[in-house]
């Protein structure tokens, strides 16, 4: 077990004068957060439980203060504790900041957590859709000041929606970030629409993970034909969420593609970890070349779309700086596009995008039972270090997502 070090800080997010911007009852409560105090490979050295003397305050009239009840742990939280994305995310944070007192490149202490379920405590003056006391769920951009692994969070009203009714906070908390990433990949980058997807054949690589399982559920709800790769262990769990057309062990992807060289897919979503994605792209590329050289294969009208969630941009900027990293990423984009053209495949890098309409849709799908939450393991907020360690395991010991319970 880890020891829990609590440090007290007065952060920039607790010093603002809120004045007449919000409809609120002023609170004297303290607020705890799990924050990165220095980037380090070992979570014990990077994460601290920080105790702030006041709750965060609203800066903009469109913001909402939420008392977090539950929040999930995503791979991005673990990567960010090790410094991933610090160059671009700090820059984006500066660009999106208002007020000279908030402009800083120093993001530490950096609160982790990309999604949450909680109760609205206070609303800014222009907020119309939400009221104090209402349960909401939502996401927090990676370049935002605060994350959701905290007692309280301030977010823009455009990033939340009412929480699904009939589902517990800890269950619902597993979905917003992975659900919106899956939505963004399929709809924004893959250009699928619920109306057109029923005729599509899709291959999801890494369907046993958070984003993959959300994507598979969306695709099946929209009546697509879906083939999934995942580990044999995750297959059972995935099939308890949704009936897929075929499950392939991801260690046998090469053999599967060999067997099905005459099959076609309209969309391939790679939702596997970065260490697997370049090997996956190579396998898909060889499979396409084999298809193209085969005279029996009828030519698809449009190129299949290959979407990967592993863009090299943040990693390149971290390691090579803004100029070198941008150049290296542009070069990689050109290389991926060129080799995709040779394989007659449209290779695209997809990423999470906030989307209130999609969140509203997810709320309705969860309430109707068409998308099932993916919570696998719930741990109390003060045991977050143990929870991060469980989520960080190379070979997962739990199916589904790890969720922190604050209340
Ligand atoms: N760009 C963005 O905005 C964005 C947003 C969200 C996520 N991501 C990235 O997308 C990836 C997936 O995210 P997530 O939240 O779904 O992560 P996750 O829950 O950890 O899922 C990853 C899954 O990949 C599976 N996997 C491991 N090796 C594989 C292989 N060789 N082939 C296929 N699958 C393999 C694992 O399956 P088993 O458990 O069955 O072994 C695991 O469940 C991560 O790399 C994450 O960083 C990017």
**What's the whole-model pTM score?**
0.91
Cβ proximity of 267 and 186 under 8 Å:
yes
Atom 8 in ligand 1: residue holding the nearest Cα: 309
pLDDT tens by residue, 130-146: 999 999 999 999 988 78
Residue % of the chain over a pLDDT of 70: 88
Q: Report the pLDDT averaged over residues 58-67.
A: 96
Q: The sheet that has 6-8: what strands, in order across it?
A: 6-8, 47-52, 31-36, 110-111
Smallest Cα–Cα separation from 163: which of 360, 327, 305?
Answer: 360
pLDDT tens by residue, 7-24: 544 444 433 334 445 555
Distance 209 CA to ligand 1 centre (A): 5
Using DSSP, state whether 68 is helix, strand or coil: strand
Distance 12 CA to ligand 1 centre (A): 34
Token code pair at residue 40: 């380090």
Taking the CA of residue 79 as reference, the ligand 1 atom at the shortest distance is: 47
pLDDT at 298 over 70: no
C-alpha dist (Å) from residue 398 to 113, 240, 261, 274: 19, 14, 34, 20
How far apart CA 215 and CA 302 sit, in angstroms, is 22
Question: Assign residue 91 a region: left if phi > 0, alpha if psi is -120 to 50, beta otherwise?
Answer: alpha
Cβ proximity of 36 and 47 under 8 Å:
yes
Q: Which residues contact residue 368 at a Cβ distance below 8 angstroms, ignoring those fewer than 6 apart?
A: none
pLDDT tens by residue, 328-383: 888 888 888 888 888 888 999 999 999 999 999 999 999 999 999 999 999 999 99
Cβ of 181 closer than 6 Å to ligand 1, yes or no, is yes
Token code pair at residue 184: 């963004």
Distance 210 CA to ligand 1 centre (A): 7
Per residue in 182-216, is it b (16+ CB within 10 Å) or e — as a string? Answer: bbbbbbebbebeeeebeebbbbbbbbbbbbbbbbb
Cβ proximity of 140 and 153 under 8 Å:
yes
Bridge partners (DSSP) listed for residue 123 = 23, 64
How far apart CA 292 and CA 75 sit, in angstroms, is 36
Smallest Cα–Cα separation from 118: which of 168, 181, 70, 63?
Answer: 70
More confident of the two residues 6 and 212: 212
Q: Report the pLDDT averaged over residues 146-157.
A: 96
pLDDT tens by residue, 236-287: 999 999 999 999 999 999 999 998 877 889 999 999 999 999 899 999 999 9
pLDDT band for position 395 (cuts 50, 70, 90): low
Cβ of 73 closer than 6 Å to ligand 1, yes or no, is no
Distance 166 CA to ligand 1 centre (A): 28
């Amino acid at each position: 077990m880890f020891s829990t070090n609590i440090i007290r800080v007065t952060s920039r997010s607790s010093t603002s004068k809120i004045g007449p911007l919000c409809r609120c009852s002023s609170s004297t409560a303290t607020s705890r957060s799990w924050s990165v105090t220095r980037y380090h490979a070992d979570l014990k050295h990077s994460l601290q439980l920080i105790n702030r003397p006041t709750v965060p305050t609203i800066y903009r009239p469109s913001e909402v203060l939420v008392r977090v009840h539950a929040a999930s742990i995503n791979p991005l939280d673990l990567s960010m504790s090790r410094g991933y994305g610090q160059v671009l995310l700090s820059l984006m944070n500066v660009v999106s900041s208002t007020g000279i007192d908030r402009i800083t490149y120093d993001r530490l202490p950096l609160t982790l957590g990309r999604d949450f379920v909680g109760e609205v405590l206070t609303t800014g003056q222009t907020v119309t859709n939400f009221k104090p006391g209402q349960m909401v769920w939502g996401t927090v951009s990676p370049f935002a000041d605060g994350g959701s692994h905290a007692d309280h969070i301030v977010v823009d009203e455009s990033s939340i929606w009412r929480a699904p009714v009939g589902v517990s906070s800890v269950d619902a908390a597993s979905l917003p970030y992975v659900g919106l990433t899956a939505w963004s990949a399929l709809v924004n980058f893959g250009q699928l629409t619920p109306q057109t997807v029923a005729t599509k054949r899709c291959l999801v690589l890494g369907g046993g993970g958070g984003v993959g399982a959300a994507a598979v559920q969306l695709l099946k709800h929209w009546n697509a034909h879906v083939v999934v790769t995942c580990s044999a262990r995750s297959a059972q769990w995935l099939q308890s969420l949704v009936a897929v057309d075929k499950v392939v062990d991801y260690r046998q992807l090469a053999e599967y593609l060999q067997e099905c060289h005459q099959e076609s897919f309209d969309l391939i979503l790679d939702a596997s970890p970065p260490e697997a994605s370049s090997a996956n792209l190579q396998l898909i590329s060889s499979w396409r070349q084999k298809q193209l050289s085969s005279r029996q294969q009828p030519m698809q009208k449009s190129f299949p779309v290959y979407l990967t969630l592993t863009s090299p941009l943040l990693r390149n900027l971290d390691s090579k700086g803004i100029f070198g990293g941008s150049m290296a990423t542009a070069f990689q984009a050109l290389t991926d596009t060129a080799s995709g053209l040779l394989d007659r495949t449209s290779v695209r890098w997809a990423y999470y995008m906030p989307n209130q309409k999609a969140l509203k849709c997810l709320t309705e799908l969860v309430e109707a039972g068409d998308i099932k939450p993916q919570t696998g393991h719930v741990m109390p907020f003060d045991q977050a270090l143990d929870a991060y360690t469980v989520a960080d395991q190379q070979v997962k010991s739990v199916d589904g997502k790890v969720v922190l319970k604050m209340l």
